[in-house]
Amino acid sequence: MAVKKGTLSVLQYQYNDARRYLEGARTVLAMANDDSWVAECDFQLGKCYQFENDYKNAFAYYGWARESYERKSDDLSLLKVYNNIATLHFYQDDLDRAYYFYKLEEQLSRKLSDDKGLGRSVVNLSLISRKRNDFAKAVEFATEALEAFRRQGNKLGLASGFQSLANLYKDAGDLPKALYNAKQALIIFQDLKEVRGMSSTLGTLAYLSKELGDSGSAVSYFYSNLAFSRYFSFGNTEAGRHDMEVFVAELSQLRENLGSVTFANLLANAQDKLKRLCEEAGFSGVDYSIPKELHP
């Protein structure tokens, strides 16, 4: 019971309660030589410390859990601990160690025919390959992740996979392929009513439309991105304010290029389109107003 309470407390971000439940349970279970439940306590404590950005303790508890899982050949539990250890290394920009543990997760997932673990691991291997400027490997991993998510019926994974491929092709300068993948991602995010995913993809689509000379779509996407940025209160952070200023600047440049009348018509259409999208998705509280910098 204490382990379950501790696990739930981790998920609810109640870290003091989580440590109290899990450390108490761990002591009792260790005295009873119940290694399996001790390992589960260690794993959950590792997550607790990870969420608090205490990487030293997170590594320690994950390491103890890993040792126990490996002794018992508990492969399913090893998948999750390999992933979390890899993620800690990734957060610390230790790409070599992150790659090593994601590869362990990938190899074990193949052995178990576990598409969930495979998709998760190769997505992260793609991110690392992208950081290393290994475009071919990044695309290979991202494409395999897409197939793994498709086999699972994991729509959110599919959308994220398409978005990842869009970013890769954008970086490589293959804008038509980037545009295709970004549009596929947006369709799925809209179907899932996943507004944060939509917001991220709209930013990619805005850039691509601008670069490909599709000014009408660029107006719509930049405006939608600005509206979602306000919805999520991104302006409360320095980075968010900078992004919103960039969106307004891009829209101002498009107005200059298109002329005030054409721009105003496109912007009105963009407003109507976004309102319909939000109504269909059940979003409320979106600010559809036009920034004063874009008024005629």
For 163-193, the pLDDT digits (tens) are: 999 999 999 999 999 999 999 999 999 889 8
Note the pLDDT tens digit of each residue in 13-55.
Answer: 666 777 776 777 777 777 677 777 788 888 888 888 888 888 8
Domain end marker among 45, 72, 99: 72
What local confidence, expressed as pLDDT, does residue 15 receive? 67
* 81 assigned to some structural domain: no
Token code pair at residue 228: 């979602």
Is the pTM higher than 0.85? The answer reads no
* pLDDT of amino acid 12: 56
Residue 126 belongs to some domain of the structure: no
The number of domains in the chain is 2
240: which 2 tokens? 């968010």
- Can you give the pLDDT at residue 182? 96
Which domain CATH number covers 2?
Answer: 1.25.40
Q: Residue 13: what pLDDT? A: 60
The answer as to whether 63 is a domain residue is yes
Q: Which residues of the chain have pLDDT under 70?
A: 1-15, 21, 31, 234-236
Range of the domain at 13: 1-72
pLDDT at position 199, please? 85
Domain membership of residue 280 (yes or no) is yes
Domain boundary among 36, 54, 72: 72
Tokens of 116: 């969930």
Angle between helices 115-131 and 155-172 (to 10 degrees): 20
The Cα–Cα gap between 92 and 36 comes to 29
Spatial CA neighbour of 159 closest among 191, 126, 206: 191
Are 90 and 98 contacting, i.e. CB atoms less than 8 angstroms apart? yes
Residues 6+ apart with CB under 8 A from 201: 159, 163, 166, 182, 185, 186, 189
**Per-residue model confidence (pLDDT) at position 265:** 94
In-domain check, residue 188: no
Per the domain annotation, does 108 fall within a domain?
Answer: no
Per-residue pLDDT, 155: 94
Domain-embedded: residue 86: no
pLDDT given for residue 36 in this prediction: 77
At 234 the pLDDT is 61
Has residue 120 been placed in a domain?
A: no
Domain termination site, one of 72, 98, 121: 72
Q: What is the CA angle 109-103-153, rounded to 5?
A: 40
